[in-house]
């Protein structure tokens, strides 16, 4: 009798703790709701922003901005967006220049994005890793430990914390969408989720999509040179010099290789490598604005400063107004950001990440593993991107030796060719987006939303105009 009483008391105690924790989570969720955002137009959906501490190390916290779907969010999929770099902001790029509901215009006002992806899904934009955007650490040594493994682990811990705060979305279908170096982020995070689901808590992961993604070093680089030759950017002499004299599996190269790589770099110095047909940005005194070198995984060689070609190609003129907007104190207060008063200003790509400790040369075996467990995997490429060209992804897919179930064909959106597509065994689809650069949704927003909607519903892209 006494045992039964104490057992009942014990379970009552546990239930009380669980109720208190759920109440605390609901309070945190409501505390993150953005109630007034400067320059924001009126909308009919909720959005939330704030920090999720990474347990057990509460010195680290990742910043997120979450937009509910415009209609019926409880029934719509949940999507995590990750911008690459490594070291660039999902809020500044994904949210406010590509797929989010609010775009920052040149007057530093917010305007509605007609082709926002929250028309069909709930979207989380995550500032990852620490040191990016408003995400922070109180221990600077954490920045020296960054690499693929740490980032995947931190992103997974973020999701566990986010779902505790938003348990109402726990059963929604969950997808990851990543851009550029996100070709490393997405499959590594998906793998952690898959392994974590075996012991819980469960995340309802259904698949991931990657845009102009870095997935296999050798074929990524081969595609760069072939694309440049095919688009008349480099001469056949330079191309033959690179392919004949360079061994990209080695750190040290011959003098002839170095000379031809330098000529290759010079050929791109007058155009935007990330969107080869776009005009170059001009600013004060008609001077072009150079790309800002950021941390890359490694130099192509020790002899050539290959890191002047970062994995995040973003034109700084259109970005000026975004930087100014997010450095406003009233904006930061509205989205519950910069609560630790960071010692550096908000930037689009991190200025405090100086090294990257681990980066596998290929993601292909992991992608094949994830296909094998039944995840839906789509890749897309803006076909005017010279940094991670459509050819790079085609060559990488050839390395995977998958059976083609639907050969290369045109797909249509709005009666026009949106791009070309090929489908493979196991649920992998590869699509190009015609006329888009590295940030494909920024250049072709209607086609990108159309493709994304078909990815979520697992419907083939249309093969006819009407």
Cα separation of 208 and 378, whole Å?
Answer: 7
Cα(318)–Cα(303) distance, rounded to whole angstroms? 33
- Residue 40 CA to its chain's centroid (Å): 24
Active site residue 191: no
Rounded distance, CA 301 to CA 287, Å?
30
Q: Which residue has the tokens 């959106």?
A: 413
Residue with token string 């600013």: 283
Q: Is 288 left (phi over 0), alpha (psi -120 to 50) or beta?
A: beta
Catalytic one of 89, 180, 312, 413:
180
Q: Is the peptide bond before 201 cis (omega within 30 degrees of 0)?
A: yes
Q: Let me know the angle formed at the C-alpha of 314 by 455 and 248, rounded to the nearest 5 degrees.
A: 85
Secondary structure of residue 202 in the 3-state scheme: coil
3 state SS of 351: coil
Q: Are strands 110-112 and 122-127 parallel, antiparallel or unpaired?
A: unpaired
Q: Is 154 a catalytic residue?
A: no
Query: In 197-286, where does DSSP find H-type helix?
Result: 217-230, 236-245, 255-267
Strands 416-424 and 428-433: antiparallel
- Distance from C-alpha of 93 to C-alpha of 84, rounded to nearest angstrom: 10
Residue listed under structure tokens 């639907």: 406
Residues 296, 87: contact at Cβ < 8 Å? no
The Cα 418–Cα 410 span in angstroms is 7
Task: Tell me which of 272, 385, 396, 443 is the catalytic residue.
Answer: 385
- Is the peptide bond preceding residue 109 cis, with omega within 30 degrees of 0? no
- The question of whether 269 is a catalytic residue gets the answer no
Spot the catalytic one: 47, 184, 336, 438. Answer: 438
Residue 73 to residues 47, 84, 120, 122, 324: CA-CA distances in angstroms?
A: 11, 27, 9, 6, 31
Tell me the two tokens of residue 242: 């690179």
Which residues are identified as catalytic?
Answer: 180, 385, 438
């Amino acid at each position: 009798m006494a045992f039964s009483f104490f057992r009942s008391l014990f379970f009552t105690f546990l239930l009380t703790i669980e109720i208190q924790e759920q109440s605390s989570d609901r309070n945190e969720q409501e505390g993150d709701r953005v109630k007034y955002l400067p320059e924001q137009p009126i909308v009919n959906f909720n959005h939330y922003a704030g920090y999720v501490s990474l347990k057990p190390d509460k010195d680290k916290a990742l910043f997120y901005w979450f937009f509910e779907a415009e209609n019926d969010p409880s029934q719509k999929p949940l999507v995590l967006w990750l911008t690459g770099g490594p070291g660039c902001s999902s809020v500044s790029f994904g949210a406010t220049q590509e797929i989010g509901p609010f775009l920052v215009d040149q007057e530093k006002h917010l305007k509605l994005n007609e082709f926002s992806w929250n028309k069909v899904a709930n979207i989380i934009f995550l500032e990852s890793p620490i040191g990016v955007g408003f995400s922070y650490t109180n221990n600077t040594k954490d920045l020296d430990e960054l690499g693929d493994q740490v980032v995947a682990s931190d992103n997974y811990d973020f999701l566990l914390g986010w779902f505790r705060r938003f348990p109402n979305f726990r059963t929604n279908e969950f997808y990851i969408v990543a851009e550029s170096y996100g070709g490393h982020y997405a499959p590594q995070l998906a793998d952690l989720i898959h392994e974590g689901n075996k012991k819980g808590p469960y995340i309802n992961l259904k698949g991931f999509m990657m845009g102009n993604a870095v997935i296999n070093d050798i074929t990524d680089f081969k595609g760069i040179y072939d694309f440049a030759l095919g688009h008349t950017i480099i001469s056949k002499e330079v191309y033959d010099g690179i392919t004949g004299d360079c061994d990209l599996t080695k750190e040290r190269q011959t003098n002839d290789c170095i000379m031809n790589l330098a000529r290759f770099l010079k050929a791109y110095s007058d155009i935007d490598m990330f969107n080869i047909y776009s005009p170059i940005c001009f600013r004060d005194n008609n001077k072009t604005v150079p790309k800002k070198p950021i941390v890359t995984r490694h130099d192509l060689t020790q002899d050539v400063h290959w890191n002047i070609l970062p994995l995040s190609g973003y034109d700084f003129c259109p970005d000026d107004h975004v930087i100014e907007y997010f450095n406003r104190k009233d904006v930061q207060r509205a989205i519950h950001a910069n609560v630790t008063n960071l010692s550096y200003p908000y930037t689009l790509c991190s200025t405090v990440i100086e090294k990257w400790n681990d980066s596998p040369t290929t993601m292909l075996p992991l992608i094949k593993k994830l296909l094998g467990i039944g995840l839906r995997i789509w890749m897309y490429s803006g076909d005017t991107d010279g940094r991670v060209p459509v050819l790079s992804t085609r060559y990488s897919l050839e390395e995977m030796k998958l059976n083609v179930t639907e050969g290369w064909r045109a797909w249509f959106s709005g009666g026009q060719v949106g791009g070309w597509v090929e489908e493979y065994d196991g649920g992998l689809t590869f699509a190009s987006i015609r006329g888009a650069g590295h940030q494909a949704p920024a250049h072709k927003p209607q086609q990108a939303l159309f493709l994304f909607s078909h990815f979520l519903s697992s419907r083939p892209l249309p093969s006819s105009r009407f």
